Structure 1
Amino acid sequence: MIVYMPPRAQRFFAVVVTTIFLAFSGCAVAPVAAQSPFAETVEARSLADVLEDVTPAVVNIAVTSRAPAETNPLFNDPYYRRFFDLPQMPQQRHKMSAGSGVIVDAANGYVLTNHHVIEGAGDIAVTLKDRRRFAAELVGSDKATDIAVLKIEAERLTELPIGNPDLLRVGDDVVAIGNPFGLGQTVTSGIVSALGRSGINVEGYEDFIQTDASINPGNSGGALITGDGRLVGINTAIIAPAGGNVGIGFAVPIDMAQAVMRQLIEHGQVSRGRIGVAIQDLTPDLAEALGIERIRGAVVGSVEEQAPAAHVGLQAGDVIVAVDGQEITGAPDLRNRIGLTPVGSTVEIAWLRDGERNVARVRIEADNGGAIAATFPQKLSGAILQDASGNVFVETVEPNSAAAMAGLRAGDVIVAVNRQPVQSREDLSSALRAARGTIALDLFRGGNRLLLVIR
């Protein structure tokens, strides 16, 4: 007779038989380590252990600033106030805002945050996770990198260990810590979505880490850390078409923030370095025209006379591919490397010319306005220009300026105004002053020629 035995009973029967057999054979029965159904959960909680150590280093920043009071102009009319017996209206009102910061030097009380968090601040207060609150001194801030340094006088501070952003890869796990919407300290997780992002702010020095870890208003200045609790970025911006987080956030790499921090602590401001070249990205079209197989680097558009670059023999058309042995990805990358290198130091520049690699050490000099503002009409104000090999190179364009609103972009090369060729800033200024009404600028942008019409 065949008796059906369910699988669970079969397993139980097999264990019992095996145990009895081993017992009668004189063999010791080793205890079986039970596999906990929560084993994976316990392993995943290791991040919580990391956060217990690092979250005390992330602080909330409260800023009080003064803004002009919004009142009807009639309230400031003495006859109107006298007739209606109205009191004098306040000329200013207090404005409160909140952000985040990161303690990076516990011994000296230094806190990193964003420039836009403390911009225009009257009073700054830092609140720790243990709810201690301290008045903060603004050591200095830098708008171009959106980094600011605060100092607090406090004991028993926790600082975050510094990581290496160069080791990050797309897909690595990261955690954002900050104070979104003034709710208090909050932790969100995600991955590295992209590296080396630029073009978010045409005026700034950018090399952003992009992440989908939720970064919302109030997270600015907070920490972006790796899974082992190392600080790799300062959260700074989001792209939010609908006004909320859509998974596109940006952080300033900590090595860039530290370079700015050192200058702010030592000098109170950041001195930009330069070698005296106008540059643009190496596009596939330019690479083909120059006979270069690679498409990563920065093309030299022009070299200023007597500049450090001229002294080592750099020429228009050269392609800079490395600084101090590290590969250059494009013009923004080179601009960051040179701009944030201390003035007076030297760097090793590698460039390609006619297929040959050249290397030289170049001294970094202070950027005292090698690129100057042209005498533009009001509708094109806000652009900074350089002469570039018989044309005019647009170095930067102020955000929200008239030039930006007109469509001019950093990296544009202006070759003509109203079909009149221009070969220098002086030519451009003269042509613009002579123009009446509509202005037509002939440009090269990204290897393509276009006509920008400004009314």
Structure 2
Amino acid sequence: MIKGFVRKIGFTLAVAASILIFVESSLSKQKKILPSSRAQTQLSFAPLVKSAAPAVVNIYTRRVIQTRAQTPLFNDPFFRQFFGEKFEFGGRTRKRVQNSLGSGVIVSNDGLVVTNFHVIDKADEITIVLADRREFEADVVTRDKKTDLAILRIKGRTEKLPYLSLRDSDTLEVGDFVLAIGNPFGVGQTVTSGIVSALARTARGVSDFDFFIQTDAAINPGNSGGALISLDGGLIGINTAIYSRGGGSNGIGFAIPSNMVATVIDSAVKGGVVIRPWVGASGQTVDADIARSLKLPTPSGVLLNSVHPGGPAAVAGLKVGDVIVSIDGKDVPDANSLKFRIATLLVGGQTLIRAIRSGRPFERRVNLIAAPEEPPRDLWLITGSNPYAGAEIANLSPALVEELALKNGSTGVIVLRLKRGSPADRIGLKPGDILIRLNHAKISSVARLKKLLRTDYKAWRIEIRRSGRLLQLLIRG
């Protein structure tokens, strides 16, 4: 019995020893190996930076601002209340120069530079400083506030310049290495590295198209307009914003994808005016509740709730209630993606839209046209003795909706501007208000309102839509 026990112990020890040898063997295979050559110790982004950095420029802008200096007397709250907040009596006009800085990227050898709109907005003078410290003046070719992009042209160059080629931003994947090159805080050209943290990210208040590349490469003030490049040296984005409470980098930076940049560059080359395609359809993101009610496998896609009669989408056979799931083979998970995908296409072509109707998938080819100016704007500055006097109004058309970045499908009559102190200003109308009804009569057009204002009302019941909310005003005559 003792011998049997000893044999069991011996067998157990032998097995344990073999396991230990196996573990040690496995660990030895996982041990880090020291570099065996000088080349292995010199892995670096330096060659990539050397080829890309000359195409990244610093941008300095100068703007003259006129200010009015008031006497200390009018800082007294009593006088401000009596004369009004905007009273400027007694002050002299002074000129002040405001300087700002940013970055840009040369995208053609003839001196075309892409940067952010907010970098050059309202600038009186623009100076571009190349990587070799040469300075040139620049003209603005294209301004596109909706994408926060601008295209500049370097003046006075005498030779071909280094530039970066655009890479298809749809080939990016989360986790890819990227480099950010720019001029943070005006300290000079700086390179930071990181990865693609997320794609199709929303950054509210930056542009009308909430579709950005997110990266943890350090981006700081002054980097705006700089390059985000991939490891093959292609330009994949224009650095534009950071998420920060203190103004410095917190590892959350946003870049405009190169596919959007390409459309603005194309517009600059063709004449400077950015014209985006219009399909005449819009909708809402499919959430879990919608997906459940429509018996969709996943909460993804865009449920169409507006299809413009006679528009390209309607002509192609799309209807309200259809769910768009892809455009040209690229997934459309939400409404922002749909807006972005259409905006990166060119007017005059076609796009293949895949959608679902009553649980069945189908495809339609949709023509891409410029948003039509139909009905005509019929601009009118309202005068006379009525509550609307002092308001400049216009008929909403797909073209004006696009221009004002309103919700697709908006119709009716919109307030564009107000005269300060006018009756319309005093009753609380604001630019962007859509006039709905006057005394229960629908305001379908400018011409219709003109006809309604010919009547002398004892009371004015005004109905407007503001930011999606219906408001009513009652004014006694």
TM-score, structure 1 as length reference = 0.71
Is the 2:167–2:234 contact (alpha carbons within 8 Å) kept by the matching residues of 1?
Answer: yes
Aligned to 2:45: 47
Cα RMSD (Å): 4.2
Q: CA deviation at 1:282?
A: 1.4
Distance in 2 (alpha carbons) for counterparts of 1:372 and 1:235: 38
Aligned to 2:212: 208
Residues 163-312 of structure 1: matches in 2 within 5 Å?
163-201=167-205, 204-312=208-316
Aligned to 1:361: 365
Aligned pair partner of 1:133 in 128, 135, 140: 135
Distance in 2 (alpha carbons) for counterparts of 1:319 and 1:205: 21
Distance in 1 (alpha carbons) for counterparts of 2:187 and 2:405: 40
Q: Does 1:65 align with 2:63?
A: yes
Q: CA deviation at 1:313?
A: 1.6
- 1:127-152 CA distance string (max 9 Å, x none): 11111111112111111111111112
Distance in 2 (alpha carbons) for counterparts of 1:289 and 1:371: 37
Aligned to 2:399: none
Aligned to 1:328: 332
Give the letter for the 1:194 counterpart: A
Q: Does 1:100 align with 2:103?
A: yes
Is the 2:203–2:254 contact (alpha carbons within 8 Å) kept by the matching residues of 1?
Answer: no
Aligned to 2:353: 349
Residues 411-426 of structure 1: matches in 2 within 5 Å?
none
Q: CA deviation at 1:317?
A: 0.8
Aligned to 1:338: 342
Seen in structure 2, the aligned counterparts of structure 1 residues 282 and 219 have a Cα distance that, compared at 3 Å, is same
Distance in 2 (alpha carbons) for counterparts of 1:306 and 1:273: 15
Seen in structure 2, the aligned counterparts of structure 1 residues 267 and 205 have a Cα distance that, compared at 3 Å, is farther
Distance in 2 (alpha carbons) for counterparts of 1:171 and 1:299: 31
Q: CA deviation at 1:262?
A: 0.5
Distance in 2 (alpha carbons) for counterparts of 1:370 and 1:75: 54
Seen in structure 2, the aligned counterparts of structure 1 residues 226 and 138 have a Cα distance that, compared at 3 Å, is same
Distance in 2 (alpha carbons) for counterparts of 1:140 and 1:320: 32
Aligned to 2:416: none
Seen in structure 2, the aligned counterparts of structure 1 residues 372 and 66 have a Cα distance that, compared at 3 Å, is farther
Q: CA deviation at 1:90?
A: 4.5
Residues 16-35 of structure 1: matches in 2 within 5 Å?
none
Is the 2:304–2:320 contact (alpha carbons within 8 Å) kept by the matching residues of 1?
Answer: yes
Give the letter for the 1:206 counterpart: D
Is the 2:142–2:268 contact (alpha carbons within 8 Å) kept by the matching residues of 1?
Answer: yes
TM-score, structure 2 as length reference = 0.68
Query: What's the secondary structure of 1:265's corresponding residue?
Result: helix
Q: CA deviation at 1:270?
A: 0.6
Aligned to 1:117: 119
Unaligned runs of 5+ in 2: 1-33, 75-89, 378-387, 394-403, 413-433, 453-459
Seen in structure 2, the aligned counterparts of structure 1 residues 126 and 387 have a Cα distance that, compared at 3 Å, is closer
Higher relative contact order, structure no. (Cα contacts within 8 Å, ≥ 6 residues apart): 1
Is the 2:35–2:41 contact (alpha carbons within 8 Å) kept by the matching residues of 1?
Answer: no
Q: CA deviation at 1:100?
A: 0.5
Q: CA deviation at 1:185?
A: 0.3
Seen in structure 2, the aligned counterparts of structure 1 residues 241 and 161 have a Cα distance that, compared at 3 Å, is same
Distance in 1 (alpha carbons) for counterparts of 2:409 and 2:257: 32
Query: What's the secondary structure of 1:163's corresponding residue?
Result: coil
Aligned pair partner of 1:148 in 135, 147, 150: 150
Q: CA deviation at 1:295?
A: 2.3
Is the 1:180–1:216 contact (alpha carbons within 8 Å) kept by the matching residues of 2?
Answer: yes
Seen in structure 2, the aligned counterparts of structure 1 residues 289 and 424 have a Cα distance that, compared at 3 Å, is farther
Distance in 1 (alpha carbons) for counterparts of 2:253 and 2:41: 28
Query: What's the secondary structure of 2:124's corresponding residue?
Result: strand
Query: What's the secondary structure of 1:145's corresponding residue?
Result: coil
Give the letter for the 2:294 counterpart: L
Identical-pair percentage = 41
Aligned to 2:164: 160
Distance in 1 (alpha carbons) for counterparts of 2:285 and 2:306: 13
Seen in structure 2, the aligned counterparts of structure 1 residues 184 and 383 have a Cα distance that, compared at 3 Å, is closer
Give the letter for the 1:97 counterpart: S
Seen in structure 2, the aligned counterparts of structure 1 residues 343 and 74 have a Cα distance that, compared at 3 Å, is farther
